[in-house]
Amino acid sequence: MADMANNSNKQTYYLNGLTCANCAGKIEDELKKDEKLRSVSFSFATKKLVFYSDFLEGDVKSHIQKKVDNIEDGIIVSKSDNPSISLNEDSCALIEQVAEPSRNKTTTNVLSFMNKYMKEMIGAVVLFVLIFSGDTSSLAIGAYIIAYILIGGDIATRAIKNLLKGHLFDENFLMTLATVGAFALGEYTEAVAVMLFYKVGEGFQNYAVDNSRRNIKALLDIKAEYANRIVGATSDRVDPSVLEVNDYILIKAGEKVPVDCTVTEGTSNVNTSALTGESMPRNVKVNMSLLSGSINIDASIKAKVVSTFENSTVAKILDMVENATGKKAKTEQFITKFAKIYTPIVVASATTLAFVPPLLGFGGFREWISRALIFLVISCPCALVLSVPLGFFGGLGAASRKGILVKGGNYLEALNDIDTYVFDKTGTLTKGKFAVQSFTNDETLRLASYLEIHSTHPIAKSILEYNRTEVSIDTAKEVREIPGEGLVGMYDGKALYVGNHRLMERYHIEMEATGFVGSVVYVAYHNQYIGNIEISDEIKESSYELVKKLKEVGAKSIIMLTGDQKEIADYVANKLGIDTVYSELLPQDKLAHVEALINNNQKVLFVGDGINDAPVLARANIGVAMGGVGSDAAIEAADIILMTDEPDKLIEANKIAKGTRKIVLQNIVFALGVKLFFLTLGAFGIATMYEAIFADVGVAVIAVINSMRTMRI
């Protein structure tokens, strides 16, 4: 590797053809030791390898390929994600010649299956003929050898290659040793039948893993394959990655929105469920924003591109979810460490089982070596190293589908241990948008609008949005703002005052006191008090049941931290039933409160949306940001992002976290329980090689299928 890139850069590759989870762990460990690579993470679920390197891509690729080949043959390091079970070019050509244009997908799949497993099927036929014929002649023995080579020749070949690389006691070596041993003992039928049984189980296991990967990929299939870029009076179909800011695109009915954009022409309904988990379509019209990954439902619309594909919502979501596997849950880390300790222990146990009993006079070597081989086949930890990562990745995918982006399996698992929930107020529990709650009369609202149209203050905007009467900017004259008090102007030749109580006091206007908790705008005209408008930040509808539901899922303490006035903070807290509230806080005060909770051994989840919440989000055990209105700094610092800005999504996140942990624990208990049972039977000579294979590949298939239930939580 001679050439270096100017800067360290992130690189992504796929290990196509990798179906062995144990090998995946060995490959990841080997690459993490490589000084040329940094921050290496590999996801067995997506076959995706991510790392940082100072070296050019071509050099790195060949370097990684050599490392991979030294551990497992048949794996292709590629920049693209190809199916792990693929046909070579000759096979595809053969199928195309055989299959007629009208042939359906099922027929093609059958032909593909037959082409892939033709040798094994021929070997199985030969075996069944020999079994039913009962022939034991030399010719029959030759036929058994041919059947064995057809069925398990690739297993034996891999075993020899791995043996030469120093990889002892993998499944290939154990199966080859066990079946060749059976041949040497004259058990021809059992030797070939066991290899056939193993290959069938291995096929089911590979199918289950590939099907799981396809389901996960489909779950995250929110990227548009193309975009219709408008050029003059026509549109060209292009890859979304070539679109630039200020380009114009056409989005037809049924198409995905390729990049974040703003509608410039047309009206339609869009399905945002892939982003937010909300099934209700959203109506869009001119000047409204569209997020990439949404699906246009009704009619064609034109839009202006506001971000490139790599900076768009859909790209960020895919990157977050796919890279989340780099942050492994404690259970995943435990299983990885367990497998490293467990494997040497069972190998040592099998060696002891093979030689100690016969040396002590408890039978012959043949019997105990056979038991030891069965013991080793049973002991393979594939069921655990396959199912646990797939379970967590399925949980991450399920959360993503419901508009909850979890940045790692560690955070999904940690949700189960949270006992203290801490919330910011504005934009989190409330809408972060002022709204008119009540007003004295229509005249009060109308007169206030004449001056507020000259202001950009959020309170002014809320009054104008609520007022149903059309207002002209020229209605009031000589309008001026008095900072911290309000507006003064002339309407129909008379003075008009709109502002807070200090403005009324300035002009000696008597007003009616109000006990409203929030902002009160007073209106006076020609030195006479007209009325008031009560305005407040609305509480989100989903916030009302939040506290009750959090208590149901195990929350011991619910706290609100806000920089708002004490009266307003207390009002919101009382409305929602929050246990404790701290108001009039600066950002550093919020951080101090969260640190105090953590130092008190509480597991803290903090939910916020503003840029001033970023330090607290980063410090909490789990930081949750609002993805819709949340600032970029908050989203970057957070561990979980709620795309709909609705805090009750935390309940859904808790449900997914608990469901994922339950399924993962089921797999661990099931796999270890079955293996322990059959290991005991094998040690006492009760279990045969058939049971051993079930305890290996059979358990792995069941565990993988069970893991996929996490996608439907």
3-state secondary structure of 260: coil
- The span from the CA of 199 to the CA of 151, in Å, is 7
> Which is it for the CA torsion 47, 50, 51, 57, positive or negative?
positive
Amino acid at the residue 292: S
Is position 424 annotated as part of the catalytic site?
yes
- H or E stretch including 573? helix 566-576
**Sheet harboring 76-78: ordered strands across?**
38-43, 48-55, 4-16, 76-78
Joined together, the tokens standing for residue 493 give: 């030749």
- The span from the CA of 235 to the CA of 491, in Å, is 52
Q: What residue has token string 């959203």?
A: 282
Those residues with Cβ within 8 angstroms of residue 222's Cβ, 6 or more apart along the chain or in another chain = 256, 274, 275, 293, 314, 317, 318
3-state secondary structure of 412: helix
- The span from the CA of 493 to the CA of 476, in Å, is 9
Q: In the chain, helix, strand, coil percent, each to 5?
A: 50, 20, 30
Secondary structure letter of residue 166 according to DSSP: T
Q: Decide if 707 contacts 394 (C-beta within 8 A).
A: yes
Cα separations in angstroms, 337 against 56, 106, 132, 381, 667: 33, 42, 47, 12, 17
Those residues with Cβ within 8 angstroms of residue 212's Cβ, 6 or more apart along the chain or in another chain = 45, 390, 394, 704, 707, 708
Q: Decide if 471 contacts 451 (C-beta within 8 A).
A: no
- The span from the CA of 393 to the CA of 708, in Å, is 9
- The span from the CA of 645 to the CA of 58, in Å, is 43
Strand partners, 305: 261
Q: Decide if 25 contacts 336 (C-beta within 8 A).
A: yes
- The span from the CA of 483 to the CA of 481, in Å, is 6
Those residues with Cβ within 8 angstroms of residue 659's Cβ, 6 or more apart along the chain or in another chain = 395, 710, 713
Q: Decide if 559 contacts 582 (C-beta within 8 A).
A: yes
Catalytic member of 260, 424, 613, 645? 424
The per-residue DSSP string of 544-562 comes to: TTHHHHHHHTT-SEEEEE-
Name the residues annotated as catalytic: 424
